[in-house]
Structure 1
Amino acid sequence: MAPTNIYAGIALGLGGAVLLVACGGGGDDTPAPGTGTLRVQMTDAPACGYDHVYVTVNRVRVNGNQDAADDGSGWVDIPVSPAQRIDLLSLTNGVLATLGQTALPAGNYQQIRLVLSPNTGNSMANSVVPTGGTETALDTPSATQSGYKIIRPFTVAPDTLTDLVLDFDACKSVVPRGNGGYNLKPVVTAIPVVVSGRVTGALTPAEAGAAVYAERGGVVVKSTVADANGNFVLSPIEQSSTAGNVDVVIVPVGRATGIVRTVPVVAGSNTVVSTAGAPIDLPASTMRTVSGTVLPVSAQASLRALQSTAGQAFTISTSFANVTTGAYSMSLPAAAPMVGVYSTTLPIPLAANGAAAGKYTVEATSINGQVQTQAADISATNAVNNFAF
C-alpha cells in the first residue's frame, strides 16, 4: 500500500502519536443516524540505526471503557483487510498510511488496541533491517494476541468522519537483545489534531538525515528526520494553553546541535523556523560517544542524553539498554550548541554556548520508573557511564 502525504488545515504528523480529527461528511460511507465513521491511519517518528522497521497490521479495536478486558464487552473492530505490512520508516515528515474505516455508534471512546499479525514459519510479518545488516524477525508476542493497548479519550460525533492516526516512535520501540534478536516495546502517544499545528523548516542538504525534535521542558513531543533536501516537518504538535511553545532541537551527524527556543504552535497553522533560501547551517563538530551498561538487565532501562543551555535541559539523544547485556551507546556532538530564539524575521540568528560544549547529563529510567542521572563530559574524549538499579 502506498502511504499518502496529508496535511489539510489541521491534519497530522509517531515522534510518535495517535491523532484524532473530526471533519464533516462521510463520503460514500454515510453512517446511519446515531453513528459516525472512524478511519484509522498510521505514521511514525524516526528510528535509530535501522533501515526498515516492518509491522503487519490486521485489526484495530476501540472501546468506550479504558479498563475493558481483552474478552470484555463493548469492543468495536476496524478490520484491516487484507492485513497490511507497513515500513514504519517510510512514514515520516507528515506521511500517513490508511489502514481502514468503519461505521460505529457515536459517543466517547477511551481505549484502542492495535493488533499485529504473527510471524509464522519463514514469513516475517514483523521485522527490522539494521543499518548494514540483514532482515531479522521482530518479537511481538502481545501484539499478535490482545494487541497493544493505548489509552486516549476521543469522541465520534454523529454523521462525522473521525480520523484516528496511530503514531509509532520506532526509535524508542525497537529494543535489541544480546543474541541478535529484537523486541517491539511500542511507544505510542495521542494528540487531538483539531487543536494541533505544525512546525516546518529547512537545513542544508549536507544535514539531510538530521534528527529534529519539538520539545517542551526537555521532553520530546514530536520528532522527525530531515529529508534528502534538508527539509523537515514536525506535525502534529498539540497547541497547549499550559505547556505553551516548543523548542526545536536539531541534531545532525558531524555538526553542532541547533536549538531554536520558544517556537509558537498555533492550531491549524504552520510555523516556519527556516526556509530553503535561508536554511539553518550548523558548524562542524566531532562526534563522541557516551556508553556503558545498566544493570541488572531486568531494569530494561531507557536512556537519554540531556544538554543544559539557555537555562533549560534539552534532550539530544535517546537509547535503550540491551535487554540481554544491559549495554547502551549514544553518539553526541562535542561542539558547543548553537542557540537562538524564534522570530518571524528569518534567518533566526544562532549563537554558540561555549560553556555547554561536550557537557551532558545521562538519565537512565528503569522499567519500574526509577531514575538515575550522571554527568558526562565528552569535550575531549568519549565517556563511560554505568548504572546500577
Structure 2
Amino acid sequence: MPAGTYQQIRLVLVPNSAGSLANSVVPTGGAEQALDTPSAVQSGIKINRPFTVAANTLTDLVLDFDACKSVVARGNGTFSLKPVVSALPSVVSGAVTGVLAGAPGAQVYAERNGVVVKATVADANGNFKLSPIEQSSTAGNVDVVIVPTSANGRGTGIVRGVPVVASGSTAVSTAALPITLPSSVFRTVSGTVTPASALATIRALQSTGGGTFEIAATAAASDTGAYSLFPTQAALPAGAPVVGTYQTTLPILLTADLTAAGKYSIQATSSSGTVSTQQVNVAVGDVVQNFAF
C-alpha cells in the first residue's frame, strides 16, 4: 500500500453459510449457534485509529477484539454481534504483568480515566498479562483494576499509576510477592432498560483512591432490555476495595477504602450516546435498578 498516514481500518466479515458458521458463539454448556450480524456490521467494522506506513517498511498493527462487550445476549437465548475492536501499532505498545494469590479467573483491567483499554483473565495459577497497551509516554499511565469472581470470595484491588514502556513489561506483583486481596461477599445489580431499542451498555463504576474505575460491564438484551451484572454469578464485591500506587519495589501496599464499600454508580449508555447514571449500594443485598431513555 502507498506510504502515508491512514485514519481508519475496515474489517469485512465472512458471512455465515448453510454449511459453515464464520460468526458464531458457543454458550457455556450449549451448542454452537450463529451470531446475528446487523447490516451495518456486514458492510464492515470500522476501526478509527490513525497509523503511518513508511516507504519500503512493514507496519505491524495489533487488532484487539473485546469479546465480552462484543457478544450481546438476547432474551430469547440468541446472540448478536456488537463489535468492539481497537487497533494499536505494536511499536508503541507494552505490557503489565502480575500474580494473584487465591484468585484464579479474576478479571483484570488496564484503565485510563475509568475506561478499560485492555482486559484479561488470571489463569489457574493467578498469573495475568495485559498486552498490548499503548505506552505511557503517549497515552499516560494505567490503573490496574482486579475484580475476582464470586467463587474466589475476594474483593477488588486497584494499583494506580502503572507505567507502560514500549516493547517492555511492568510487573505489579510476582509469584514470590503476589497480590492477596481481602475477603468479600458479592452482589448483583439487575434491571430493565426501556425502550429495548436503546441497545444500552451498562457499566458499574466505583469511586475510590482519588479516581473512578470500571468494575463490571454488560449489555442490555436487544429484544427485552433486561440486564444483569451478572446472570450466572454476582459480579460486584460488597466489601471495601483496596487501593495503592505503583512503585518499583514490591510488594505494593494496598489500603482498604471503607467509605467506598458496596457503593457503585450504575451507568447506562444508549446507542445514541445518551448517558443515565444511578447510585446504588449493594452492602446489604442485591439491587434492582431500571433505566428509561
TMscore range, shorter length: over 0.9
Distance verdict in 2 for CA 1:280–1:328, change over 3 Å: same
What is the correspondence of 1:341-360 to structure 2 with a 5 Å cutoff?
A: 341-360=245-264
Within the alignment, does 1:113 sit opposite 2:5 as a pair? no
Specify which of 91, 98, 101 is matched with residue 194 of structure 1. 91
Q: Distance in 1 between matches of 2:256 and 2:27?
A: 34
Identity among equivalent positions (%) equals 69
Secondary structure of residue in 2 paired with 1:160: coil
Within the alignment, does 1:311 sit opposite 2:210 as a pair? yes
Equivalent position amino acid for 2:226 in 1: A
Q: Distance in 2 between matches of 1:111 and 1:307?
A: 33
What is the correspondence of 1:253-292 to structure 2 with a 5 Å cutoff?
A: 253=149, 254-292=153-191
Specify which of 337, 347, 362 is matched with residue 266 of structure 2. 362
Aligned residue number for residue 173 of structure 1: 70
Specify which of 126, 130, 149 is matched with residue 234 of structure 1. 130
Aligned residue number for residue 16 of structure 1: none
Q: Distance in 1 between matches of 2:196 and 2:213?
A: 27
Aligned residue number for residue 225 of structure 2: 326
Aligned residue number for residue 139 of structure 1: 36
Q: CA deviation at 1:370?
A: 0.4
Q: Distance in 1 between matches of 2:30 and 2:182?
A: 31
Secondary structure of residue in 2 paired with 1:284: coil
Q: CA deviation at 1:221?
A: 1.2
Distance verdict in 2 for CA 1:351–1:114, change over 3 Å: same
Cα-Cα RMSD = 1.6
Q: Distance in 2 between matches of 1:322 and 1:156?
A: 40
Q: CA deviation at 1:122?
A: 4.6
Secondary structure of residue in 1 paired with 2:251: coil
Distance verdict in 2 for CA 1:110–1:243, change over 3 Å: closer
Q: Is the 8 A contact 1:115 1:143 kept in 2?
A: no
Equivalent position amino acid for 2:133 in 1: I
Aligned residue number for residue 211 of structure 1: 107
Q: Distance in 1 between matches of 2:162 and 2:61?
A: 26
Per the normalisation by structure 2, the TM-score is 0.92
Q: Distance in 1 between matches of 2:199 and 2:147?
A: 26
Secondary structure of residue in 2 paired with 1:306: strand
Secondary structure of residue in 2 paired with 1:116: coil
Regions of 4+ moved over 3 Å: 141-145, 240-243
Secondary structure of residue in 2 paired with 1:275: coil
Q: Which structure's residues are more often strand, by fraction?
A: 1
Q: CA deviation at 1:241?
A: 4.5
Distance verdict in 2 for CA 1:355–1:135, change over 3 Å: same
Per the normalisation by structure 1, the TM-score is 0.70
Larger radius of gyration: 1
Distance verdict in 2 for CA 1:142–1:283, change over 3 Å: same
Secondary structure of residue in 1 paired with 2:259: helix
Equivalent position amino acid for 1:333 in 2: P
Q: Distance in 1 between matches of 2:86 and 2:257?
A: 33
Q: Distance in 1 between matches of 2:32 and 2:182?
A: 35
Q: CA deviation at 1:238?
A: 1.4
Distance verdict in 2 for CA 1:141–1:217, change over 3 Å: closer
Q: CA deviation at 1:190?
A: 2.6
Aligned residue number for residue 17 of structure 1: none
Q: Is the 8 A contact 2:63 2:88 kept in 1?
A: no
Within the alignment, does 1:162 sit opposite 2:66 as a pair? no
Within the alignment, does 1:375 sit opposite 2:279 as a pair? yes
Q: CA deviation at 1:243?
A: 4.8
Task: Could you tell me which runs of 5 or more consecutive residues in structure 1 were left unpaired when the two chains were aligned.
Answer: 1-103
What is the correspondence of 1:19-30 to structure 2 with a 5 Å cutoff?
A: none
Q: Is the 8 A contact 1:294 1:387 kept in 2?
A: yes
Q: Distance in 1 between matches of 2:50 and 2:138?
A: 19
Q: Is the 8 A contact 2:61 2:87 kept in 1?
A: no
Residues 147-173 of structure 1 deviation map (CA, whole Å, 9 limit, x = unaligned): 211122212222212112221101110
